[in-house]
């Protein structure tokens, strides 16, 4: 399959990109690394009239140490994150290192992955668990959205058609923070069948536990996270995890439930190792 004809624009700055998207009146799509949009164009599942290539915008390609947090430009590739020396936030590199495989990481971008919003993708799970903030640019300027509120459902986000993910701000972890990230993929490079992320950062009074690879957006298991913060990993019993999942994804079939219970428990276990 080859893509249907489209107009290809390569703006020179973020303002130009926003203008190009707005000019498409709903028929323009930003292109990051093209690891999802590329195949969708070729399969003619996505048929934008205009493709706005933002992958080369220098302003979106840097990783900056902002003191309390790291700022990742929207067009930063997974490979850049993987290779970066991120003081206080090495967990970002660990997550990046296990996204698909290197050929995809070389091109795929953090902003593109978020905007595409595959429910099983890594960043839509890891960033809410890390209490990150998504920086969005549009015709009216910039706005910031907590990562946990960014994704509205499967392949759906808070982005409007003329908005762009320009950066992701991820707070550094305290020295005593515990991070556990676990996903189950049928084979290397595939999207996971189940996934979960846990952050326990007592110094910052953070207790977060998120589960991903659901039918919709990743979900937070708040109450269970608080319990784990108090009692440790032992609080994540099979019954407790299944009960917590009942609240956010009721009516799962037994096999899916088993997979997600396993993911949550192993993420917690890893965090406390």
Give the footprint of other proteins on this chain (CB under 8 A): 1-5, 39, 43-44, 184, 186-191, 193-194, 254-255, 258-259, 261-262, 265-266
Residue placing its CB nearer to other proteins in the complex, 61 or 258: 258
* Pick from 125, 270, 132, 129: nearest CA to 212: 125
Q: Quote the least distance from Cβ 37 to other proteins, whole Å.
A: 14
Q: Quote the least distance from Cβ 184 to other proteins, whole Å.
A: 5
Residue 191 has which token pair? 């999207």
Residue placing its CB nearer to other proteins in the complex, 186 or 205: 186
Q: Quote the least distance from Cβ 265 to other proteins, whole Å.
A: 8
- CA torsion 244→248→252→256, rounded to 10°? -70
Residue 2 has which token pair? 């080859």
Which region holds residue 196: left if phi is over 0, alpha if psi is between -120 and 50, else beta? beta
HSE-CB of 18 using CA atoms within 13 angstroms? 16
Q: Quote the least distance from Cβ 101 to other proteins, whole Å.
A: 8
**3-state secondary structure labels for all residues of 67-117:** CCEEEEECCCEHHHHHHCCCCCCHHHHHHHHCCCCHHHHCCCEHHHHHHHC
Largest CA distance in the chain: 58
Residue placing its CB nearer to other proteins in the complex, 5 or 87: 5
Residue placing its CB nearer to other proteins in the complex, 44 or 152: 44
Residue placing its CB nearer to other proteins in the complex, 23 or 39: 39
Q: Quote the least distance from Cβ 131 to other proteins, whole Å.
A: 28
Q: Where are the alpha helices (DSSP H) in 193-237?
A: 222-231
Q: Quote the least distance from Cβ 159 to other proteins, whole Å.
A: 23
Exposure of 71 by Cβ count < 10 A (0-12 exposed, 13-18 middle, 19+ buried)? middle
Residue placing its CB nearer to other proteins in the complex, 26 or 39: 39
């Amino acid at each position: 399959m080859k893509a249907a004809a489209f107009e290809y624009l390569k703006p020179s700055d973020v303002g130009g990109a926003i203008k190009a998207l707005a000019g498409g009146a709903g028929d323009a799509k930003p292109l990051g690394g093209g690891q999802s949009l590329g195949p969708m164009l070729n399969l003619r599942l996505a048929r934008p009239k205009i493709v706005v290539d933002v992958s080369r915008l220098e302003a979106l390609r840097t990783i900056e140490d902002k003191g309390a947090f790291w700022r990742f430009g929207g067009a930063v590739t997974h490979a850049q994150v993987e290779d970066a020396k991120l003081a206080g936030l090495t967990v970002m590199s660990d997550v990046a290192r296990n996204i698909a495989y290197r050929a995809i990481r070389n091109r795929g971008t953090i902003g593109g992955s978020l905007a595409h919003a595959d429910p099983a993708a890594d960043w839509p799970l890891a960033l809410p668990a890390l209490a990150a903030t998504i920086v969005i640019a549009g015709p009216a300027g910039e706005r910031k959205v907590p990562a946990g509120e960014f994704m509205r459902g499967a392949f759906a986000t808070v982005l409007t058609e003329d908005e762009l993910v320009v950066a992701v701000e991820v707070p550094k972890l305290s020295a005593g923070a515990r991070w556990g990230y676990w996903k189950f993929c049928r084979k290397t490079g595939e999207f996971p069948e189940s996934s979960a992320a846990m952050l326990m950062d007592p110094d910052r009074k953070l207790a977060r536990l998120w589960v991903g690879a659901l039918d919709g957006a990743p979900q937070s298991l708040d109450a269970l996270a608080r319990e784990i913060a108090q009692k440790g990993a032992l609080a994540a019993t099979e019954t407790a995890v299944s009960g917590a999942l009942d609240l956010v994804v009721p009516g799962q079939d037994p096999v899916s439930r088993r997979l997600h219970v396993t993911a949550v428990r192993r993420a917690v276990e890893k965090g406390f190792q």
